[in-house]
Amino acid sequence: MMTRLLRAEFTKLFTTKLWLWLLLGAIGMTGLFVGLTIGLADSAGNPSPPLNTPEGQRNLFGVAGATSALAIVLGIIAMTGEFRHETVTPTFLATPRRGLVVTAKVIAYAIVGVGFGAVGILAELALALPWLAAKGVAVSLTGNGIPRTLIGVLLGLAVNTVLGVGIGALIRNQVAAIVGTLVYFFVIESLISALPTIRDYYKFFPGGASSGLANTYQPNVEFLAGWQSGLLLISYGVAFAALGTALTIRRDVT
Amino acid sequence: MSGQIVVSGLTKMFGPVRAVHNLSFTVAPGTVTGFLGPNGAGKTTTLRCLLGLVTPTAGTATIGGLRYVDLPQPSSTVGAVLEASSFHPARSARNHLRVICTVNGYPASRADAVLDQVGLLTVADRKVRGYSTGMRQRLGLAAALLGDPGVLVLDEPANGLDPEGIAWLRAFLRRLAADGRTVLISSHVLSEVEQTVDDIVIIDKGALVRQGNLGDLASQQGSTVVVRTPDPDRLVSALGRYDHRPGIRRRDGAVMVDGLQPAEIGHLAFLEGIELHELTTERSDLEDIFFALTGEGADR
Ligand SMILES: Nc1ncnc2c1ncn2[C@@H]1O[C@H](COP(=O)(O)OP(=O)(O)OP(=O)(O)O)[C@@H](O)[C@H]1O
Ligand SMILES: [Mg+2]
């Protein structure tokens, strides 16, 4: 039963072009961040740690995690699209046990999030490794905590995509859900991470937990340990998904 | 009874709006039943309750004794086409059906089989965005047929169809019923379904008005007497005092009376001293019955 529901979710995803656009967006965004990180590394006054330090390299290879906003949007569109186009009606007619439907979506999009992250990581490696070699910076992908950063990126994107599915189940209006979420991440969380005193709590917010998970560096901001960030982020994902599921089960589809 | 639909004491409130009110009716297996009522009568809400999409405030709606959510294989038991066109605009018809095939474990070839059945096979790979209303209705029907269900629930399937499409739909539904399927089909226009249905269930303002065999209802309802008089108000008030409480409507200055014979009306007018200019019998067509029963167009 669950296998069929998962396969159906993948069929839904791959029979429209959305995934392609978001993936291209993620590759472009990752490329841009890699370019900025390496390109500006030697400029004066750059507060980021230099590229030949472990921190610098973790930061560089953690940039694929910066596409988490796109991952959330992907999750939101996956869920709200069902309401927007009313495909939720055939979906629930085929599977009237709605809890199963939302659970399948959550699992499917966790997998999609990992795939999303994997492509981002491949893109950043393809760009960064030759570039660093040309600059004479030695990199070891197995050292300097980089494996943990990469796993953190994958896990972070998986959880963020699930978070998007949960948000979409709670706020069924697609535009409202996307705009609200982007405003939250780019305005509210940016403010939280920038304001003195308040920024000490940034580590407890979803964005801060994502950064902590990838073990990246941000000046003046402290993150929780990787495993704590991971657990916290997963808790956010599970909480939103559970809340979204509960509401989706109860709400009328008219 | 495998295909019997039973709606029992069904009530649905949307906040303060009472969409369905203590509604009970049954649909016998192997029949085509028209589910009729004016706009806003609660047809869609009732069907959505039956299909587990809307949770009733009170009462139940079951198919073969089970609520839709409890059906072991819902798509192979009940096929539904609901009013809303529920397709992703950027997905092709074939892929839309494939998603449903995947969920239910049907072979992908079923998608092509039903597309062929509804005449959409040649356009199967076009995005639904470019489909006309009639094509969407057909696609909805195709989706309902995927699991080869014994029960079909259709909400206003003729909406947006041209006369040719309606004729096609009528023949199509007749074929499905001839296979022994139970078909429940809603409409707000009786004439749309009167050639297709065996039984009708009429609701108004969320409540049952009448259920029964279409032929029986038509003969019960009998004929209408058209009366013309210079003093219609007095005639109406006289008829209102009559023991049998006949159905009275006005149309184009005439008084239309249901449930009385011309002789009875003539006698009454004679006793009251009302001058009559016309006293004729008109076999009431089904649309009139529908109006009479749902109170639309009645002189109230
Ligand atoms: N989601 C909703 N929220 C609030 N009220 C609703 C909702 N859905 C339906 N209603 C109300 O319930 C009543 C019945 O609506 P319903 O759609 O069931 O009627 P209908 O018989 O299908 O009408 P139509 O012939 O126009 O399709 C109407 O008064 C409608 O406004
Ligand atoms: Mg309706």
Residues in A closer than 8 angstroms to B68, CB to CB, are 96
State the residue range of the domain holding A105.
2-250
At B222 the pLDDT is 64
pLDDT at res. B298: 41
Q: Which one of the ligands is nearest to B206 CA?
A: 1
Report CA(B98)–ligand 2 centroid distance (Å). Answer: 27
Which of B52, B92, B98 has its CB closest to that of A96? B52
Closest-lying ligand 1 atom to the alpha carbon of residue B156: 27
Q: Which ligand is nearest to the CA of B39?
A: 1
The predicted structure's pLDDT at residue B172: 87
Beta bridge partners of B20: B12
Task: Determine contact: A97 vs chain B, CB below 8 A.
Answer: yes
HEC assignment per residue over B153-216: EEECCCCCCCHHHHHHHHHHHHHHHHCCCEEEEEECCHHHHCCCCCEEEEEECCEEEEEEEHHH
Tell me the one-letter amino acid at A230. G
**CB B178: neighbour CB atoms within 10 A?**
10
Query: Exposure string (b/e) for A215-244, b if CB count within 10 Å is 16 or more?
Result: bbbbeebebbebeebbebbbebbeebbeeb
Nearest to A8 by CA among A124, A131, A129, A90: A90
Return the ligand 1 atom nearest residue A254 CA: 1
Contact (CB, 8 A) for A177 and A171:
yes
Q: How far is B99 from chain A (nearest CA, A)?
A: 5
Q: In this predicted structure, what is the pLDDT of residue A118?
A: 94
Q: Is the dihedral of CA B190, B195, B197, B200 positive or negative?
A: positive
Residue B255, classed as helix, strand or coil, is strand
**Distance, CA of A96 to CA of B51 (rounded, Å):** 8
With the most atoms of ligand 1 within 8 angstroms of its CB, the residue from B10, B11, B14 to mutate is B14
Q: CB neighbours of B72 closer than 8 A, spacing ≥ 6?
A: none
What is the pLDDT, as a whole number, of residue B300? Answer: 34
In chain B, residues with a C-beta closer than 8 Å to the C-beta of A95 are 74, 103
pLDDT on residue B85: 67
Nearest-Cα residue of chain A relative to residue B93: A15
Q: Contact A85/B88, CB-based, under 8 Å?
A: yes
The pLDDT assigned to B1 comes to 46
The DSSP element (H or E) to which B239 belongs, if any, is: helix B232-240
Q: 3-class secondary structure for A124-193?
A: HHHHHHHHHHHHCCCCCCCCCCHHHHHHHHHHHHHHHHHHHHHHHHHCCCHHHHHHHHHHHHHHHHHHHH
Q: How far apart are alpha carbons A66 and A51 in whole angstroms?
A: 18
Contact B88 A11 (CB under 8 A): no
Nearest CB among A18, A86, A96 relative to B86 is that of A86
Contact A16 B102 (CB under 8 A): no
CA distance B183 to B203: 17
Residues in contact with A17: Cβ distance below 8 Å, sequence separation at least 6, in sequence order: B90
Report the complex ipTM: 0.86
Number of domains in chain A: 1
Mutation site for A-interface testing, chosen from B46, B53, B66 by largest number of A Cβ within 10 Å: B53
Which residues in chain B are contacts of A8 at CB distance < 8 A? Answer: 99-100, 102-103
Domains and CATH numbers, chain B: 5-213 (3.40.50.300), 223-283 (3.30.70)
Question: For position A76, what pLDDT does the model report?
Answer: 95
A25: distance to nearest CA of chain B, Å?
A: 19
A93 with B75: Cβ contact below 8 A: yes
DSSP state at residue B137: H
State the closest ligand 1 atom to the C-alpha of B38, by its place in the atom list counted from 1.
25
Ligand with the closest atom to the CA of B187: 1
- Asked if the Cβ–Cβ distance from B85 to A86 is below 8 Å, we say yes
The series of mean pLDDT values per 10 residues for chain A, 254 residues long, is: 93 92 92 89 77 85 87 94 92 94 94 94 92 85 85 91 94 94 91 86 88 76 85 92 91 90
Cα(A87) to centroid(ligand 2), Å: 18
Q: Determine the pLDDT at residue A43.
A: 78
Ligand 1 neighbours, Cβ below 6 Å, are A 254; B 14, 17, 19, 37, 39-45, 188
Q: Does B92 touch chain A (CB under 8 A)?
A: yes
Closest approach atom of ligand 1 to CA B203: 21
The DSSP bridge pattern shows strands B78-81 and B58-63 to be unpaired
| A189 φ, ψ (degrees, to nearest 5) | -65, -35
Q: Give the Å distance between the CA of B134 and the centre of ligand 1.
A: 23
Give the distance from CA B201 to its chain's centroid.
7
Q: How crowded is residue A68: how many other Cβ atoms within 10 Å of its Cβ?
A: 28
Decide if A197 touches B, using CB distance below 8 A: no
CB of B171 within 8 Å of a chain A CB? The answer is no
Q: How far is A241 from chain B (nearest CA, A)?
A: 21
Closest residue CA from atom 7 of ligand 1 = B14
> What residues in chain B have per-residue pLDDT under 50?
1, 297-300
- Residue A244: both structure tokens together: 């979204």
Phi, psi of B278 (to 5 degrees): -150, 140
Residue A139, chain B, CB below 8 Å: the answer is no
